[in-house]
Amino acid sequence: MANFLTIMNLGCGILALLFVTRGNPHLSLLFIFLAALFDSFDGRVARNLNIVSDFGKQLDSLSDLVSFGVAPAFLLYESILHRYHSAGTLFMIIFIICGAIRLARYNTTVFTGSFQGLPITAAGCFLAISYFGIPYFPSYIFMFFVLILSFLMISSLKIKKL
């Protein structure tokens, strides 16, 4: 059951990417947030049913990279960062790489009740939400926002799990 929820997270991330590439950012946003909903339940279900596994942990991380790394980065790239050509592409790549580093670090350390660095789920959701600010903020602000979220993911900042 937990792995099914994780696969639903991944499917939503893939659909979010598909809708970005088809020019439908609003549906992309919807699927990013549906992925977050599925992601919030998969670990809880695994712990409650006592079916936590290394396979599930790895599947969850791969799904999170797609749903909260690649999909939100592509959403913002297609919506605004493409205006900056190579620089916009670089910022998108930095976000995805920092998300991958964050997930790899999480998978190779013992969880002590606090996350080290901003979880990719939060960073990806913040990035996706920033889409709503496009009409209100200068476009270069989004490049800084991408960088801030990227570095927060790989920072040593301790964040208590809710």
Any idea which of 37-46, 72-81, 121-130, 150-159 has the lowest mean pLDDT? 37-46
Q: Is 146 exposed, middle or buried (0-12, 13-18, 19+ CB in 10 A)?
A: buried
pLDDT tens column, 63-112: 999 999 999 999 999 999 999 999 999 999 999 999 999 999 999 988 78
- Domain spans of the chain, in order of start: 2-160
Question: b/e per residue, 9-29, with b = 16+ CB within 10 A?
Answer: bbbbbbbbbebbeeeebeebb
Q: Which fold has domain 2-160?
A: Four Helix Bundle (Hemerythrin (Met), subunit A) (1.20.120)
Mean pLDDT of 30-56: 91
